[in-house]
Chain A
Amino acid sequence: MRSFVSPLVRVVRPFTGPQTLGNSPLFWVCWLATVILLVLLPVFGSRYQIITASNFLISAILAMSLCLIWGYCGILSLGQAAFYCIGGYAYGIVAMNLIDRQGNTDLAIAAGIAAPAAFAALIGALMFYSRLKGVYVAILMLVTSLLLGLFMRQTADPSYTIGAAYLGGMNGLAPAKASDPSLPSIILGFGDMTLEFDGRGRSFYWLVVGVAISIYLGLRWIVNSSFGYVLVALREDPERTETFGYDVRLMQLAAFCLSAAIAGLAGTLYTAWGTYIHPDGFSVAANILVVIWVAVGGRKDLTAVVVSTVALNWISIELATWGEISMLMLGFILVIAILIAPEGVFTGIGAAIGRLTRRGQSGGALDIKPAPAASNMMPKRS
């Protein structure tokens, strides 16, 4: 067993640390098994399951972006859904305009990531350099999201076209004229070669799995690196971090922009998946939903967040088939989950599994103590 463990340990070392749950070889074996299952899903799953799985994984990417900024950096942003939508609209508009000329959506994807990041840089600079904290950042982001939604909803007039894209108001993005192309799926171009990923197909699903895994591993690496330590320090005590010489505002801004870029990427994938984007994503409910996914899972850990997002999405859709009591049940589930596990249901389970397996283990190469249960650091009164 040991000869298998040490090369595995060396490979995963950058991705492990006290900031994330799941640092043992057992975890990584389970993780690998899950990834293999995910990749093999198209083999034994139905078309509907593949499409839905793509959707859920895209939501998981969005949830991971909030996990970064809230769980690790301590800044609750009630505007992640806004970045998601900005990314989606950016992708859609650029893609519809350039697809005929370019033949691929490379630039559109870049736009989908860059636009929300730029927007975040602007808003973030305003907020963090004004020393805004806690619930006020949350409200400001919510107000921003509402303002954007307000604007996008009233773009029904046919004059709201950007090139070949008609903003469409509440009916969503659409081609400006009948001769204009409709929203394309992801088409990656390398030189003369193009690869198309139709949202309803296996290739798109595998693309999403690939992106999700990359983001997951990438974020794990970041939060377990020295930058990650600074972020957590920011979360726990910003004043003290500043006394150590770190530029708190710049770090917050950086994390904020990164999380906006990830949310934008998720939005881009979503728009390509359904070839449709509409302004409802700017509403209060859409933003709170992301918070719920992350809070129920356990905002301080990436794995927990991914699991809870997929689980909650799956439950929601299944409940929709139950008819009128669907949202009532969702409310109950939410309240019970938070009451039982205020720190997060899946972080709780993860910690429990950790304790269980540690009892038997005589000492492994990755025997690091589980993440300290940091107290709920709320802005103090006074």
Chain B
Amino acid sequence: MGMMDIAGQIVSYTYQYFDNFGFLLLSGIGLIVIYGVMGVINMAHGELMMIGAYIAVSTFYAGVPAPLAVILGGVGAGLAGMIIERLVIRHFYNQLLSSLVVTWGVSLIISQGTLFVLGPSIMNMPTPLGSFNVGPFAFGIYRLVMFATAIGLIAGVWAIFRWTKLGTQAQATMENPTMASALGIDTRQVYTLTFGLGSALGGVAGGMFAMTATISPFFGQNYTPMAFITVVVGGGANPILGLAYAGLYLAGVQTISSNLVNEYIGYVSVMAAAFLALLVMPSGISDFFAQRRTRRMQR
């Protein structure tokens, strides 16, 4: 009995860690792709997640199975993202601060517009898959599925960057936009597609969260601040690594302090940890490591 208790406790801590980690990864993946490639902070990211959630839920209740509904949510959000990019964002590449302001306006329009047209809330999707037991502890399986999806999405983004033409072009454009376009890359198309990709990732995340949260036009705003902080702590030099490092670090701090003290301190320590990370690594974690690597290579 004692062994099961200890095993259960360990599983519980591990579970919580992956739960928190997955949450940060899912919220942040779309945002960091956009930030890394385009130098734009998309404050409307939460609204794109909301669009994904709404589409996922509507198609689900129209009979589509949940995984497909989530993918459709992603596609819909991606399309919406590309429209926003064409209309608004394209005037603000690499202008961090102006893009912050204009995307805040876009987020107001989308969320309030949805409230106006669709009303204050819709039914969310039921959480699938039940739970499993370890000793006296029970754990929902779905949250692990969310974590696995986050990893899958990151792997997918990595694959896109590594092996597709879009990925190579995006990396080139990240490094040096002028040079890239001099070499014949249509940087505007790269940006549009990247924004679409980031939005689609947000939409998928929204669809995934739709199975555990109440959905309203302001649903995305719960995720934006933490996503924002994770992305900035991660740094834009290497979006994937940055997100991973930031997630590992912040989720770790949260899990440890929530269990050592209480949830309030857990929440506060995430903020404090972000604060400290930024002081020590002023351009984000991935930038810090990238600079160290270049410095080491120069030796």
Contact = CB atoms under 8 A, between A and B. Distances in A.
B41 interface: yes
Contacts of B271: 143, 146-147, 150
Contact of B112 (A126, A131, A133, A327): A327
A331 B98 CA distance: 15
Contacts of A136: 232, 278, 282-284
A328 B41 contact: no
B201 interface: no
B100 A291 contact: yes
Interface residues of B, number: 44
Given A143-B271, A150-B268, A328-B113, A381 B278 contact: no
A209 interface: no
Contacts of A330: 105, 108
Interface stretch (B88-96, B135-143, B208-216): B88-96
Contacts of B163: none
Given A150-B268, A328-B112, 5 more contacts: A139-B274, A143-B271, A334-B101, A381-B94, A381-B236
Residue with the highest number of chain B CB atoms closer than 10 Å, among A76, A284, A338: A338
A132 B275 contact: no
B105 A324 contact: no
B167 interface: no
A376 interface: yes
Contact of A339 (B88, B97, B264, B272): B88
B96 A378 contact: yes
Q: Would you list the 10 A-B pairs with minimal beta carbon distance, nearest first?
A: A331-B108, A334-B105, A331-B109, A328-B112, A335-B105, A132-B282, A139-B232, A295-B101, A338-B102, A327-B112
B116 interface: yes
A307 interface: no
Interface in A312-348: 324-325, 327-328, 330-335, 338-339, 342
B113 A127 contact: no
A379 B97 CA distance: 11
B27 interface: no
A135 interface: yes
B157 interface: no
Given A136-B284, A378-B95, A338 B101 contact: yes
A378 B39 contact: yes
A206 to B, nearest CB: 34
B192 interface: no
A76 B267 contact: no
Given A127-B279, A140-B275, A135 B102 contact: no
Contact of A130 (B113, B174, B282): B282
Given A132-B282, A147-B268, A334 B108 contact: yes
A158 interface: no
Nearest to B106: A335
B295 to A, nearest CB: 13
B96 to A, nearest CB: 5
28 contacts: A131-B282, A132-B279, A132-B282, A135-B232, A136-B232, A136-B278, A136-B283, A138-B97, A139-B278, A140-B275, A143-B274, A144-B275, A146-B271, A147-B268, A150-B268, A154-B264, A324-B116, A327-B108, A331-B106, A332-B109, A334-B101, A334-B102, A334-B105, A334-B108, A338-B105, A342-B91, A379-B96, A381-B175
Give the secondary structure class of A's interface: helix
B237 to A, nearest CB: 8
B268 A140 contact: no
A150 to B, nearest CB: 6
A291 B101 contact: yes
Nearest to A140: B278
B225 interface: yes
A292 interface: yes
Contacts of A76: 97
A134 interface: yes
Contacts of B267: 150
A86 to B, nearest CB: 17
Nearest to A144: B275
A211 interface: no
Given A76-B97, A331-B105, A376-B98, A143 B229 contact: yes
A331 B103 CA distance: 9
Interface string A341-362: 0100000000000000000000
A288 interface: yes
Interface string A281-325: 000100010011001100000000000000000000000000011
Nearest to A283: B225
A147 B267 CA distance: 10
Contact of B95 (A139, A292, A296, A376): A376
Given A331-B106, A339-B88, A324 B284 contact: no
A334 B110 CA distance: 13
B98 A339 contact: no
A169 to B, nearest CB: 13
Interface in B240-297: 264, 267-268, 271-272, 274-275, 278-280, 282-284
Contacts of B280: 130
A328 B94 CA distance: 27
Contacts of A327: 108, 112
Interface in B165-190: 174-175
A295 B284 CA distance: 26
A18 B268 CA distance: 45
